[in-house]
Structure 1
Amino acid sequence: MTERNSRKYILIVGVLLVAGVFLSFFLGKFSLGPKEVMGILTSPITGGETFWTSQQEQVFWAIRLPRILLACLVGCALASAGCVYQAVFENPMAAPDFLGASSGAAFGAALAIILGGNGVKITAMAFAFSMATILLVYAVGSRAPGNKTVGLVLAGLMISSIAQAGTSFIKLVADQTNELPAITYWLMGSLSSTKTEDLLFAAVVVLLGILPIFGMRWHINVLTIGEQEAETMGVSVGRTRLIALVAATLITAAVVSVSGMIGWVGLVIPHFCRKFTGSNFRWLLPASMLTGALFLLLVDDVSRNLFAVEIPIGILTAMIGAPFFLYLIFKGGRK
């Protein structure tokens, strides 16, 4: 793929994302028109005359804006994390929960729910257990003999299984009237209870993870051509891998803790973007970030407007992602 095509794709997706964000304000059970949206959005700057109701303003600032931004943030984070995992592990099947971030967050959230925690406590415990799981994976994987990358993957699979078993046990002993439905709904992934605090927390942590990844794009790009070649070009393979994995897992833990389990985004989106930008990480990363944000924004719009009862977003991403990934596999096999 040429640099020109990559730039063109990124520009098109960027324009579509801006348009999608603007149109998403009009979608929902409570009506908001373009005039009201523009008026509410610009009123802090212009101080113009109020022609909308206080209820419309409340819906805009407290419900719709945080949810739209969080959908974009979660999609962007999961897609970029998937990009990093696939490049670092040189494995197209690598996904953001490769090192147990998602399973650790699920266990923390389930534990918080049966302990009577509210939204803030659930988010905090999900993030804390997600990071604890990752640290444990690193501690075990770094001491494993042989290839350190393989050791990390095996440690991730083992500790993820333990966390999943713990979550299953919590579901078994949870109260079937209130706690079990809450745990099940969280595990399906949803943005229905989005709060401004969730958005701010996730945004700060994701920014801390995205910045080093973006700054190391060239180094990560070199990793994909082989370790020996990377070393001869002056790239510290071990350090680059470690920083990239820590950053990618950090942003995964942050968004999973506020959105629940949302799969397939980090696996499918980088594959989709490679068809337009190629494997050059310099272009693949920003393309995946924008495409992931647009994808999850559109899926969330469908989840909250398709039926009277909102569909958990994790169900829709699986329904879209799994068939699309099968298509990629079969198409790649024919080639």
Structure 2
Amino acid sequence: MSAGVASRHAPRVVIAILAMLLAVAAVVSLGVGRYDIRFLRVVEILWSPISAPATPVTATEANVVFTVRMPRILLALLTGGGLALSGATLQGVFRNPLVGPQVVGVSSGAAFGGTLAILLSFSRYGLLGSAFAFGLSALVIVYALNGIVARRNILALVLAGVVVSGFFGALVSLVQYLADTEDKLPAMVFWLLGSFATANWQKFSLVAGPIFVAGLLLLGLRWRINLLSIGDEDARALGVDVEPLRWLTLILVSCIVAAQVAVSGIIGWVGLVVPHIARMLVGPDHRVMMPASLLIGGLYLLVIDTVARTATGSEIPLGILTALIGTPVFAFILRQSQRGACGF
């Protein structure tokens, strides 16, 4: 009996530990950079609006923590968690551990929408809307192709994603070819590499609403996603209206990915790699795996962003670092799946 109680509480303990690690990492990251601040001093600065510390907070310290670093760190936490949550959702909905926002083409579709918006000089909200529309379109096309080919084939969805990603990648190249080489092309290239270098409170407010609302809805649906992951027929037998639920989750995922792409460009592989780490830590039950993915994704991208902005004199684009880590992990997962060791 005690062993059973311990096993039930183990995932909650892991999630609590992840939440504490995330909080500590965020405070550490606030103090790391060209202007270093000690951990305890960062805590004093954060607490200063409520209670003045013994050593007054200088204008420079307040500006570094609250204006320069905090919006960037919150943006990294929010987008990393959102991407990981999206990947966990897609893997459950499609019953395929090889699925992620980039693999199924939604990132490429959103990238095309974003570059098109830059070419046409859309506002930030126009860029967000364009990224959402084309990201959702890519996901719909992949879903349709997967149904035509073979929904039960574990590689069918990946192959459909490769096709759609290639198509939207070609459209992105076409837009870049048509762009002004002095002004818009450099902006597109920098944006596509993925970065939080231009993070500010305005960008955070732009992305916070869509990701927060869509993320909460996905977390609220996680037990239904659990039922989808056991198969359509079994889910229907348990009273789940499969198709509307699947389309709702796809729209919510597209909303999260489009919001992330709109403010920070393409940041790949987070949604593919992190859910596997969460699954190893807490198991395949989406009721605990999805919250774990959310926390690990935020921590993962926060650490990578901190390395990107501090490792060298010039900032390393996030898309490069996440791809360097994600591609070998994806290759390992693909190899394991061929042995039948990585399925639902």
Does the TM-score normalized on the shorter chain lie above 0.5? yes
Give distance in 1, aligned partners of 2:179 and 2:43: 46
1:11 aligns with 2:12: no
Give distance in 2, aligned partners of 1:187 and 1:71: 16
Instruction: Determine if contact 1:101/1:131 at 8 Å carries over to the other structure.
Output: no
1:69 aligns with 2:74: yes
1:260 aligns with 2:265: yes
Residues 173 and 93 of structure 1: is their aligned pair in 2 closer, same or farther, counting only changes over 3 Å? same
- How far apart are 1:144 and its partner, in Å? 8.1
The percentage of counterpart residues that share the same residue type is 37
Give distance in 2, aligned partners of 1:139 and 1:290: 28
Q: Which amino acid aligns with 1:195?
A: N
Instruction: Determine if contact 1:99/1:249 at 8 Å carries over to the other structure.
Output: no
Instruction: Determine if contact 2:195/2:265 at 8 Å carries over to the other structure.
Output: yes
Give distance in 1, aligned partners of 2:147 and 2:330: 32
- How far apart are 1:143 and its partner, in Å? 8.2
Q: Which amino acid aligns with 1:309?
A: S
- How far apart are 1:182 and its partner, in Å? 2.3
Q: How does 1:97-246 map to 2 (within 5 A)?
A: 97=102, 100-115=105-120, 121=123, 123-134=124-135, 136-137=137-138, 160-246=165-251
Q: Which amino acid aligns with 2:125?
A: A
**Secondary structure class of the residue paired with 2:284:** coil
Give distance in 2, aligned partners of 1:276 and 1:138: 29
Q: Which amino acid aligns with 1:90?
A: R
| Segment drifting more, 157-166 vs 7-16 | 157-166
- How far apart are 1:145 and its partner, in Å? 11
Give distance in 1, aligned partners of 2:242 and 2:147: 16
Residues 279 and 95 of structure 1: is their aligned pair in 2 closer, same or farther, counting only changes over 3 Å? same
Corresponding position of 1:304: 309
Give distance in 1, aligned partners of 2:336 and 2:166: 32
- How far apart are 1:103 and its partner, in Å? 2.2
1:22 aligned to which of 23, 27, 34: 27
| Segment drifting more, 45-54 vs 69-78 | 45-54
Instruction: Determine if contact 2:113/2:132 at 8 Å carries over to the other structure.
Output: no
Give distance in 2, aligned partners of 1:101 and 1:216: 21
Residues 246 and 143 of structure 1: is their aligned pair in 2 closer, same or farther, counting only changes over 3 Å? same
2:331 aligned to which of 319, 326, 330: 326
Q: Which amino acid aligns with 2:192?
A: L
Corresponding position of 1:89: 94
- How far apart are 1:31 and its partner, in Å? 2.7
Give distance in 1, aligned partners of 2:244 and 2:29: 41
Q: Any unmatched runs of 5+ in structure 2?
A: none
| Segment drifting more, 129-138 vs 180-189 | 129-138
Cα RMSD between the aligned structures? 3.0
Corresponding position of 1:277: 282
Residues 11 and 311 of structure 1: is their aligned pair in 2 closer, same or farther, counting only changes over 3 Å? same
Instruction: Determine if contact 2:105/2:165 at 8 Å carries over to the other structure.
Output: yes
Residues 107 and 136 of structure 1: is their aligned pair in 2 closer, same or farther, counting only changes over 3 Å? closer
**Secondary structure class of the residue paired with 1:46:** coil
Instruction: Determine if contact 1:112/1:125 at 8 Å carries over to the other structure.
Output: yes
Instruction: Determine if contact 1:105/1:128 at 8 Å carries over to the other structure.
Output: no
**Secondary structure class of the residue paired with 2:97:** coil
* TM-score computed with the length of structure 2 as normaliser: 0.85
Instruction: Determine if contact 1:187/1:261 at 8 Å carries over to the other structure.
Output: yes
- How far apart are 1:334 and its partner, in Å? 9.0
Question: Cα deviation per residue 1:106-157 (whole Å; 9 max; x = unaligned)?
Answer: 223323444566xxx3x4343212222245457768988966995x969876
| Segment drifting more, 166-175 vs 243-252 | 166-175
| Segment drifting more, 233-242 vs 107-116 | 107-116
Question: Cα deviation per residue 1:149-189 (whole Å; 9 max; x = unaligned)?
Answer: 95x96987666544322220122233444433321121110
2:255 aligned to which of 250, 254, 257: 250
Instruction: Determine if contact 1:104/1:129 at 8 Å carries over to the other structure.
Output: no
Instruction: Determine if contact 1:269/1:291 at 8 Å carries over to the other structure.
Output: yes
Question: Cα deviation per residue 1:65-111 (whole Å; 9 max; x = unaligned)?
Answer: 00111111111000000001111111111112456432233223323
| Segment drifting more, 225-234 vs 75-84 | 225-234
Q: Which amino acid aligns with 1:179?
A: K
* TM-score computed with the length of structure 1 as normaliser: 0.87
Residues 51 and 149 of structure 1: is their aligned pair in 2 closer, same or farther, counting only changes over 3 Å? farther
Q: Any unmatched runs of 5+ in structure 1?
A: none
- How far apart are 1:19 and its partner, in Å? 1.0
Q: Give the paired residue count.
A: 330
